[in-house]
Amino acid sequence: MQNIKYPDCMDQFIAHCKNSGLKITPQRCAVYSELIQSKNHPTADEMYQLVRKKFPNISYDTVNRTLLTFAEIGLVDVIKTKEGPRHFDAILDNHHHFHCVDCGRIIDFYSEEYDNLGIPNQIQDNFTVFTKRVVLNGLCKQCRKKKKSS
């Protein structure tokens, strides 16, 4: 491995991979490390651009497949929006999303109130819930300004 500084939570990542029987490769470490450091829910293409700086030979396909594998074992969350490509989010803490329907940006926010929301009965009776996230759809500040001025 090159001189790549990984954040502390890489230990957790490695443990999670081991538990799920996923081999730990420098490429996988790099993909995960880039994802947890980027705060803006990148797409596979944006992730590819970031990882490529450290692994010039990596292909878009490898990055995309790695992200989907992470999603399968519950390491990352896949966010689908109407606007197009999926976004990825490393699930590290309990947070919620504001999604701008105009520019497609997804902004994290925290709310104790939302964290404490109960699970409706009809869900509780029929499904097992692993995670809970509130998604608010609307216009971000910039897009609201644009709409007002046009």
CA nearest to 111, candidates 94, 125, 91: 94
In the complex, what is the shortest distance from the CB of residue 74 to Zn ion, in angstroms, rounded to a whole number?
Answer: 15
Binding residue for Zn ion, selected from 103, 117, 119, 135, defined by CB under 5 A: 103
- Rounded Cα–Cα distance for residues 102 and 91 (Å): 25
Decide: is 136 part of the binding site for Zn ion (CB under 5 A).
Answer: no
140 sits near Zn ion (criterion: CB under 5 A): yes
Q: Which two tokens stand for residue 2?
A: 């090159």
Binding residue for Zn ion (CB under 5 A) from 108, 123, 138, 145? 108
Does residue 143 belong to the site contacting Zn ion (CB under 5 A)?
yes
The site for Zn ion, by CB under 5 A, has a size of 7
Q: Does 47 bind Zn ion (CB under 5 A)?
A: no
Helices (H), 5-140: 10-19, 26-37, 44-52, 60-72, 112-115, 121-126
Closest to 78 measured CA to CA, from 115, 49, 106, 117: 106
Closer residue to Zn ion in complex, CB, 54/87: 87
Interface residue with Zn ion, options 102, 107, 114, 115 (CB under 5 A): 102
The residues that bridge with 90 in the sheet, in sequence order, are 76
Say how far apart CA 131 and CA 133 lie, in whole Å: 7
Q: Does the footprint of Zn ion cover residue 89 (CB under 5 A)?
A: yes
The nearer residue to Zn ion, 55 or 98, going by C-beta atoms, is 98
The footprint of Zn ion (CB under 5 A) covers 89, 100, 102-103, 108, 140, 143
